[in-house]
Homo-oligomer: A and B are copies of this chain.
Amino acid sequence: MEHEIEVLYDVSELFKVFGDSTRIRILSALRGGPLCVFHLAERLAMGQSAISHQLRLLRGAGLVKAKRNGKTVSYSLDDDHVAQILDLGLAHVCHRNTHGSGGSDDEA
């Protein structure tokens, strides 16, 4: 199977979804349990529309799932993989922050 390039493309698309602070914060918030759109917007101090748009993206990527409860819609992480990827990213960042290596990125 020479689909390696397609797979790599899919991988980049997956990470692209993780590559936005709003979406990461949403996912991180959902780690503590399901939350409705209103509470998410409140928690992130952002407009309801912005949250809704990002939730749509996250849902399309299969990272979160939705469930209606009356008027509200509860969102939660769809898969254990999602939390795993989040954790690995956090581990990498924290590791780098602790062992302040000779990186060249912006460090005010």
Q: How many copies of this protein are present in the complex?
A: 2
Chain B residue nearest in CB terms to A79? B92
Chain A contact residues: over half helix, strand or loop, or mixed?
helix
Q: How far is the CB of A13 from chain B (nearest CB, A)?
A: 8
Give the number of residues in A that approach B within 8 Å (Cβ atoms): 44
Q: CA of A77 to CA of B89 in the docked complex: distance in angstroms?
A: 16
Chain B residues with CB below 8 A from A21, complex form: 8-9, 12-13
Please, which residues of chain B bring their CB within 8 A of the CB of A89?
A: 11, 14-15, 85
The answer to whether B62 and A93 touch across the interface, beta carbons within 8 angstroms, is no
Any chain B CB within 8 A of the CB of A67? no
Q: Mark A1-44, 1 if CB is under 8 A from B, else 0.
A: 00011011111111111111101110010000000000000000
